[in-house]
Amino acid sequence: MASLKALVTKPWIWSFVGALLVWLVTIAFTGGYGAGGMVTAALSLAVFTVIVGVGQMFVITLGPGNVDLSLPANIGLASAVAMKVMGGSDSMIVVGLLAALACGAAIGAINYLLIWALRIPPIIATLSASFIIQSVDISFGRGLQIKPPPGFADFTNWQIFGVPVLAMLTVLFTIGAAIALRRMIYGRSVLAIGQNIRAAWLAGVNVGRVRFLTYTLSGALGGIDGALLAGYFRGANVDIGNEYLLASIAVVVIGGTSVAGGKANVPGVWGAALFLVLLLTMLNTFGVSAGVRLLLTGLIIVGVITAAGGEKAVR
């Protein structure tokens, strides 16, 4: 009973409750048909949001104004780079993944360079960078019709007893991220900077290095995500990352991370990603039009955040 009470007070529990509710409503609508398949599909799709969501979470936790708007462009470019390096050959899969990772990490590093050297607010810096990356991608990826190597495509779609392997790996990754956040100097430093950057500096936190690492991490995760997306959807394209701008921010915040910084939540990212994916599935199952689907998605996001409420201001 006490543990249940403790669970209810955890902010991330609500995103899982929401996901469960949406799933129940949908299977009630279909009369139980496709209940398992829906979970599998949701897990496979949520993975991509979770990966970038975790990166975005660390960035947002750095404090007000910190957000990575270059993720969609980053994902688009990295997907093209990965496909080009792999060149359809199974032997190049690892190299291609590393190339995507490096491409993303470089973008993240450049983002921080702009923020630090030009003292531009991160929103504007990552936005400007994303414009440039987008052009590079358009130019580089023009007419690029390379399919992923069959082995890679199979890997990204591989399931064991209906559980996508990619989802299992991502769970391991998020556990690692949660440990890094709570128990490693890096995570503590991110949380400290997010609460009060000046106090963090005066308490001996290496503010510059931590911020650099965080933007680079977000970029690298975007790069990996791009490669995996290209494998899952069997091909790269410029628009492949578009939906992940709003999605990455939405899962972070619905998952209980504070946009004011200094308070992050890893499990919530999973719950919120599942919730969003299942929500879309539900609306598609209901067969509503595009306009209504958007309208309801928006209203539900606003509704969820209103119900969850903001944290009370400290004294």
Question: Between residues 67 and 166, which has the closer beta carbon with respect to other proteins?
Answer: 67
Euclidean distance between CA atoms 198 and 205, whole angstroms = 10
What contacts 288, CB < 8 A, 6 or more positions away? 296
Question: Between residues 34 and 64, which has the closer beta carbon with respect to other proteins?
Answer: 64
Which of 254, 266, 269, 278 is in the footprint of other proteins by CB under 8 A?
Answer: 254
What's the Cα-to-Cα distance from 128 to each of 67, 68, 87, 164, 265, rounded to whole Å? 13, 11, 30, 36, 28
| Dihedral sign of CA atoms 9, 57, 22, 166 in order | negative
Euclidean distance between CA atoms 49 and 129, whole angstroms = 21
Question: Between residues 169 and 203, which has the closer beta carbon with respect to other proteins?
Answer: 203
Contact 56, 218 (CB under 8 A): yes
Q: Judged by CB under 8 A, does residue 129 bind other proteins?
A: yes
Question: Between residues 83 and 114, which has the closer beta carbon with respect to other proteins?
Answer: 114
Q: Which of positions 185-224 make contact with other proteins (CB under 8 A)? A: 185, 188-189, 191-192, 195-196, 198-200, 202-205
Question: Between residues 110 and 167, which has the closer beta carbon with respect to other proteins?
Answer: 110
Which of 8, 24, 28, 132 is in the footprint of other proteins by CB under 8 A?
Answer: 132
Q: Judged by CB under 8 A, does residue 294 bind other proteins?
A: yes
Q: Judged by CB under 8 A, does residue 143 bind other proteins?
A: no
Q: Judged by CB under 8 A, does residue 136 bind other proteins?
A: yes
Q: Which residue has the tokens 């949380």?
A: 191
Q: Judged by CB under 8 A, does residue 271 bind other proteins?
A: no
